[in-house]
Structure formats: structure tokens, C-alpha cells
Structure 1
Amino acid sequence: MSADTDQDDRDLKAELASPTAGHVGIPVDAICVGCGRMRVKRATPAEMDQSPQVDPTTLEALDLTSFKHVCHLCRSATWWNPVAVLTGLLESERGEQK
């Protein structure tokens, strides 16, 4: 499942722009296993058991494994389960970089 638009009154672009999302990697919508909070996070393909050369636009959330990232609500590094690859945000970023 890929997600390209805002969900449940969330501003996914703003979440991605936040430093809490991370600075490197593919934007994914993920859920913290500690508190259940859903946030946009960045994770590298390798962190999600994918080849570093993978085309992120071909990935589905079911292809990805959990990855460690900071949860500011839990106040620790915890596991996050990807629920969607945010291909729309990824493509808009690529367009801005050109």
C-alpha cells in the first residue's frame, strides 16, 4: 500500500519535513510498537532488509521489515512497523531536487 495524500487530518508533508522524521531514507508511514503512534519516518532500504539499489517506488509496505528509530513520545529508540511507502512524497521530493 502506498499513501500519497493526507490521512486522518495529518499533514504528511509537514511530518516528513520535521527533523523527527529523519534525514536519510525512504519516506514511510510507520507505527511505533511501543505507543502505537503513527508518524512519517525515513529509513534506508538496508534498515528495512532491502537492497540498497532497490527502486523505492516499487516497494510495498509488506516488503519491508521493522526498523529502529526514535519515538519522541516513548522517549527512546524503538521499533517502527512500516504501513505504507509514501511514494507521492518521494516523487514530489525528487521533482523539487531537479
Structure 2
Amino acid sequence: MASEPSDRNRAAEFDAPEAGERGIPFDAVCTGCGQVRVKRADEDPDNPTSFKHVCHKCQKSTWWNPIRTLTGLMRQNGHPAVEGGDRS
């Protein structure tokens, strides 16, 4: 797996069109090129599985493996999956 840059701006990645328009935000790794990006997917935040999403580096739809659920971004954007809950 590719190394993750320490200076990533996850909030900017979340707001970018490449993250997707809806769904739970995940840090995920592309199985094609190893790039790590914020991607949104309709997955269970407590038990995410691999999902298909466009990789702009590979220039095609690829499988992405979630690394972590970005609950902080979910809270900032008022996502209903964390409203009233106490997630880290």
C-alpha cells in the first residue's frame, strides 16, 4: 500500500467532487494504484466493506478498501449516522 502523506487536508478532499456526492466519508485506498483519498460510500460506518468508486489517477472505476471511517467529517457535516451518538 502507498504511504499516506502527513499533510493531507481531509476536509478539502471531502469537499472535492472526486470524493463523491453522498455517503459516509472514508479514508480509502485504491486497489489499482494504492492512492489514499477521502471517498464517500453507502456503507455501514461500523463495518465497511470494499466498494467501487472512480479513481481519477487510474482513470476508471476501481475497488477501494476503507482504512477508517471519518466520523469527525461526518459530525462537521451533520451526518445523521452520528447525530446523538458518541463515536470517535
TM-score band (shorter)?
0.7 to 0.9
Match of 2:30 in 1: 32
Per the normalisation by structure 1, the TM-score is 0.73
Shift of 1:11: 0.1
The runs of 5 or more residues in structure 2 that have no matched partner are 80-88
The residue aligned with 1:74 is: 58
Match status 1:94 vs 2:78: yes
Tell me the equivalent position of 1:10: 8
In structure 1, what is the equivalent of residue 68 of structure 2? 84
Deviation at 1:90, TM superposition (A): 0.3
Structure showing the higher helix proportion among its residues: 1
Aligned residues: 75
- Percent identical: 53
| Secondary structure, aligned partner of 1:94 | coil
Q: Does 1:44 align with 2:28?
A: no
TM-score, normalised on structure 2?
0.80
Q: Which 5+ residue runs of structure 1 have no aligned equivalent? A: 1-6, 51-55
Q: Would you identify which runs of 4 or more consecutive aligned residues in structure 1 move more than 4 Å?
A: none
Q: For residues 54-96 of structure 1, give each alpha carbon's deviation from its aligned partner in whole angstroms, at most 9, with x where no partner exists.
A: xx4xx2xxx211000000000000000000000000001018x
Of structures 1 and 2, the one scoring higher in RCO (CA 8 A, sep 6+) is 1
The AA in structure 2 aligned to 1:10 is R
- Say what the alpha-carbon RMSD is for the aligned residues: 1.4
